[in-house]
A and B are shown apart, each in its own frame.
Chain A
Amino acid sequence: MPLYKTEAIVIRTIKLGEADKIATLFTNELGKVRAVAKGVRRTKSRFGSALEPFTHINTGIFIKGSSSLYRMRDTGIIHSYHKIREDINKIAYGLYLLELVDRFLLEGDVNKGVFAFLKDTLDFLGEREDVKEIFILFGLHFLRLSGYQYKFDRCISCGDDPLIAFFSPHKGGLICNGCIRGEQRGMFPINKAVALYLNSVKNIDGMIIEPANTDIVNEAAEIIKGIFTEIIGRPLLTQEFINEIKG
């Protein structure tokens, strides 16, 4: 069986037997894969901390025998993003991003755009303090890279620039008061300032976000979480954690 050399970001691990782990990796070359790391839980394992979530690694993976899981070897750390681990808020939002990638991507789905953007986002999450802004930026670009193009500037039904509007993840954007009819399940109210902010962040090319009013940023972050909840069908597990650490 061939050995694939690839860069990967560790999403999560689960324990296997006495000393092993199964890692869920988001690889650049093979998309999301699950791979067994033998002996990783021993103190003197050469994997060291390479299988901690967030870690950007270089690894060799191969299939052994008839197993459906890859095996890992020759693994080294490119970047540990250790600064994320020093702040509970960064840990919470960082894990939300990893869970998002885990939920959205099927095994074997190659998405080099998302891989590169996740890498950059983790870098900024470690270095900067505007955690929610980074989260919003990642959320909007992740949606675009996954094929969801939302409109935040005009009503998707009549094309007007609405003053008071709802947001519908399933219909693809804003719906003005004049166009809203019948069932409003899965939609949420959104005010114009938040819609304008999301529209401006959606069009950013890079990672620099203009500072905005805290209330607008907080509400925009909730809208992004709401979109993912609607698409996935339930809130992510890490969302509950984000709510709990707010106290």
Chain B
Amino acid sequence: MGQGGSFNRLIEELMRLPGIGPKTAQRLAFFMLKMEAQEAKGIAQAIIDLKDKTRFCRICNNITEDEICGICSDAARDKKKVLVIEEPSNLLSLERTKEYKGLYHVLTGVLSPLDGIGPKDIKIDGLMQRLNNGNNVEEVIIATSPTIEGEATARYLSQLIRPTGIKTTRIAYGVPVGSDLEYADEATLIKALEGRREI
């Protein structure tokens, strides 16, 4: 290709990232080449820090730099509610709403029978330990995606939690805000009708 070894190596490393093909990797590499050295080092250091300092919260599996994340250690959070999500990125989306004040549990995945991913492959045991350890949880809100995998996970969890007597709820399904009813599909409309409420 004519460029130096370190340039090619950067392209190859960038291509490991999701959604980055050879052309995008090359464009990013040229962009970094033109950057101030300090800026480029800042990116490199951020990646090193991420790998050295970040870990999963011992309680909820959220990403954190401490043993316990900021949400689990926040005394102001409602400890009677635990919201179950698939990935830490879901937590960021929910926190942006500023509506939910309870705790979380990140499963770090979802049951996917067609891919051979079963209950032992995700953090279900940790959730059950939290619920069985006298933490006075009164409600578990299951917020897995409305896909077949998310649904299988939600149904499986509700089956496991039922004997504890803890109230288990599932987030509502429906028509996305700002969308057009005309384009909503049959499955979404059925769920939206089932989940209707009085106004």
Contact = CB atoms under 8 A, between A and B. Distances in A.
A244 B19 contact: no
Contacts of A87: 155
B185 interface: yes
Given A43-B176, A80-B186, A98 B156 contact: no
Contact of A88 (B120, B159, B188, B191): B159
Contacts of B151: 85, 91
Contact of A237 (B113, B176, B185): B113
Contacts of A50: 185
A238 interface: yes
B156 A245 contact: yes
Contacts of A86: 155
B110 interface: no
Interface in B108-162: 111, 113-116, 118-120, 146-148, 151-152, 155-156, 159
Nearest to B157: A88
Contacts of A48: 183-185, 187-188
A134 to B, nearest CB: 17
Interface of B: 19, 111, 113-116, 118-120, 146-148, 151-152, 155-156, 159, 176, 178-179, 183-188, 190-191
Contact of B114 (A17, A49, A52, A237): A237
The size bracket of the interface on A is: 20 to 34
Interface centre among A17, A95, A98, A245 (most CB of B within 10 A): A245
A166 interface: no
B173 to A, nearest CB: 9
A98 B176 contact: no
Given A43-B176, A91-B148, A245-B156, A237 B116 contact: yes
Contacts of A4: none
Interface in A174-233: none
B148 A77 contact: no
B86 to A, nearest CB: 13
Contacts of A237: 113-116
Contact of A240 (B19, B118, B152, B156): B118
Contacts of B178: 44
A243 to B, nearest CB: 9
Contacts of A98: 114
Given A49-B185, A77-B185, A237-B114, A54 B191 contact: no
B105 to A, nearest CB: 19
A95 B187 contact: no
A241 B119 CA distance: 8
A240 B120 CA distance: 11
3 smallest beta-carbon distances between A and B, as pairs = A48-B185, A80-B187, A241-B113
B114 A88 contact: no
A238 B114 contact: yes
A49 B188 CA distance: 7
A82 B148 CA distance: 10
A9 to B, nearest CB: 13
Contact of A82 (B19, B176, B187): B187
A87 B120 CA distance: 20
